[in-house]
Amino acid sequence: MKIITSIKDQTDYCNSLRKKGESISLIPTMGNLHKGHESLLFDPSYIKNKKIVSLFVNPLQFNNSDDYKNYPKSIDADIEILEKNKVDCLFMPSEDEILGDISESESFDLPEHMNILCGKYRDGHFLGVFKIIKQLFKIVRPTAAYFGKKDYQQLIMINHIAKEYFKNEIKIVACDTIREDNGLAMSSRNNRMTKSQRNIASFVYKKLVVLREIIKTDKNYNFKELQKISIKELSIIGIKIEYLELLSSNNFSVIQKDDTDNLMLFVAFYISGVRLIDNIEV
């Protein structure tokens, strides 16, 4: 696997691939790879595409400096995982170079609905993700880019970047959420919890599954009431819910009484200071 650390070398490498008629798949990550990241590497289109994984812990997307400082890093293990998965190139740019490459005059027009859910609680988060993903797309100019549905609001924003800034020439592939056996969505942040805390955290997913069942089967469900009870029950076992919402997966609009299509439950929560997110289609 080629390891590239400079923007110029990465641009040259991608140009040389294109000259040879190769297509490029890009998988952006912040490292500390787990099975959720690995699942982004399995798409059948890879048979003909070169796989480029980027690893960059993006300081712009952290609204909390401790969260940024404590973000887990495991570069040697990451390289082993990427090599095992036959990744062609790892792009690991330095913070100074990537941030220095973002021009003051560039436009970063966020799509609608970025000021709710995580956007409401993490000031500047989506703008930070937007800047770096747009930069990575410009450097690599991939044919396809892979993102997890776990970060659903981010996925909607990435679709917007591809449409508005890259004329839909980058195919955005949305990948399902990979979970631990107990249902907890895999996340690099899970490494900051003990086994017993991870087990407690899995009760949030279990709660989402119960809520989904109620919403699907009880025509008279009252979401406000369900929300209140769920937040209370989870708080008893040490989980602090930041938000728990039932919204349309198309445009994040609030669900009306008779809506049954494209419903999605979104949650963000804290357990022992670690912030996690999850969602499920209803």
Considering only the stretches 109-117, 118-126, 160-168, 186-194, report the one whose residues sit in contact with ligand AMP under the rule CB under 6 A: 186-194
Q: Which of 143, 187, 230, 249 binds ligand AMP (CB under 6 A)?
A: 187
Question: Which residues, numbered 25-44, are part of the site for ligand AMP (CB under 6 A)?
Answer: 29-30, 36-37, 39-40
Nearer to ligand AMP, 150 or 192 (CB): 150
Q: Which of 25, 49, 85, 188 binds ligand AMP (CB under 6 A)?
A: 188
Q: Which of 133, 170, 185, 244 binds ligand AMP (CB under 6 A)?
A: 185
Name the active-site residue from 34, 37, 113, 125.
Answer: 37
Nearer to ligand AMP, 128 or 148 (CB): 148
Q: In whole angstroms, how close is the CB of 188 to ligand AMP at the nearest point?
A: 6
Nearer to ligand AMP, 150 or 207 (CB): 150
Q: Is 37 among the catalytic positions?
A: yes
Count of CB atoms within 10 A of residue 258's CB?
Answer: 6
Question: Which residues, numbered 123-182, are part of the site for ligand AMP (CB under 6 A)?
Answer: 147-148, 150-151, 175, 177-178
Please list, residue by residue across 173-191, b when 16 or more beta carbons sit within 10 angstroms of its beta carbon and e when fewer do: eebebbbbeebbbbbbbbe
Q: Is 71 in the site for ligand AMP (CB under 6 A)?
A: no
* Edge-to-edge strands, sheet with 2-4: 2-4, 89-91, 49-55, 23-29, 144-148, 171-175
What distances in angstroms separate CA 49 from CA 18, 86, 109, 184, 235, one per listed residue?
11, 12, 30, 31, 46
Nearer to ligand AMP, 62 or 165 (CB): 62
Nearer to ligand AMP, 18 or 73 (CB): 73
Retrieve residue 151's tokens: 């970060």
Q: How far apart are CA 147 and CA 26, in angstroms?
A: 9
Q: In whole angstroms, how close is the CB of 77 to ligand AMP at the nearest point?
A: 14
Nearer to ligand AMP, 82 or 186 (CB): 186
Question: Which residues, numbered 252-271, are part of the site for ligand AMP (CB under 6 A)?
Answer: none
Q: In whole angstroms, how close is the CB of 144 to ligand AMP at the nearest point?
A: 13
Q: In whole angstroms, how close is the CB of 57 to ligand AMP at the nearest point?
A: 9
- Residues near ligand AMP (CB under 6 A) are 29-30, 36-37, 39-40, 147-148, 150-151, 175, 177-178, 185-188
Active-site positions?
37
